[in-house]
Amino acid sequence: MDLDVRHLRVVGAIAEHGSISKAAAALGYTQPALTAQLQRIERSVGGALFVRDGSGARPTALGTLVTSHSLAILASHEELMRDVRRRGPDDADLTAVRLGSVPGPLTATLMTAVRELLPEAEVSLHVNESEEELLELLAEGRLEFGLGTDYPGYDLPLRADLSHAVLAVEPVFVLLAQSHPLAGQEEVPLEELAGEQWFTGEGKDQRMRRQFRDACRRAGFIPRRVQRMNSAVIFPLIGQGHAVSLAHALTPERANVVARPLSGDPMWVRQRLVWPSWSPLAGHASQLRDALTAAYQSLACKSPVYSAWLSRRGG
């Protein structure tokens, strides 16, 4: 793995704050996510950068070397970004639009909407493993727009130079085998899934896992069997009764797999569009927001399970 600006920012923040938890808060990470990022950086440079103990995190000799170079590079990068932000709208490069998205029901729609909005532009899409990574790329000016998922009560703070628009707030559903004893119910109590094997996708969203574990604790159990699984095989395994899985409310049902709301709506996800406030393309954000919101509402109307949930909630 090559080091880039976001890796250097992690090293610099830990050195500045002397603590993994304080650096995580400053950067808008969860502590486990920042720890995992640091471990990847340390593997890349071939050694430990910090000694971690009860008093915090202190740089090793290698950490001091990497930190000193990181601070110099970050200073140059900030100067570069200040110059970029001084560009006027007439300087905007509309020939290339770089998009990012965490996997979700609107990912493909984001690309379609931008191509319709800017038909002359070359549009590219980068799929991100987590919203933390997505926000870093947006803040660094490496993406023009990003489609993220946030969780009410487990919010990831945005940097001051990023703007966002909420597209939808939806409940988290569960995927079950069609033959599952609870599949015939309109809504499934989470506590009745206490003994199940749970699958998650390949993403690294720690906040979603935290929300899930907290919801399970409130339901009176601790999920003991949570396994990350390649998304390509999740549906066949669920369909054959090997596990259940959390899902977006818009996730379409497939052969032998049904989606059901959880009773009492213990978990929520927020779909949001994010962009750099200083970007020359920021003026297109409202049109893009409207297109994505309309697309979401259209998908919701086409989903029998979600439409029924909305009707029961008075939507």
305 compared with 129, residue with greater pLDDT: 305
Average pLDDT of the residues of the chain? 86
pLDDT for 246-271, tens place per residue? 998 998 888 899 999 999 999 999 99
Highest mean pLDDT among 21-35, 75-89, 276-290: 276-290
**Res 35 pLDDT > 90:** no
User: What is the reported pLDDT for 212?
Assistant: 92
pLDDT for 158-185, tens place per residue? 888 899 999 999 999 999 999 999 999 9
Q: How many CB atoms lie within 10 A of CB 177?
A: 19
Cα distances (angstroms) measured from residue 274 to each of 94, 113, 135, 266, 300:
18, 15, 8, 26, 22
- Bridge partners for 123 per DSSP: 97
Is the Cβ–Cβ distance between 4 and 142 less than 8 Å? no
307 compared with 207, residue with greater pLDDT: 307
Helix (H, G, I), strand (E, B) or coil at 305: helix
Band of the pLDDT at 91, cuts 50, 70, 90?
A: very low
Strands (E) located in the chain: 50-53, 56-59, 96-101, 122-127, 145-150, 162-177, 198-200, 226-228, 244-248, 257-261, 268-276
Q: What is the pTM of this model?
A: 0.72
Is the Cβ–Cβ distance between 134 and 128 less than 8 Å? yes
Helix segments in 18-58, DSSP class H: 20-27, 31-45
Which domains, from first to last, does the chain contain? 5-85 (1.10.10.10), 87-315 (3.40.190.290)
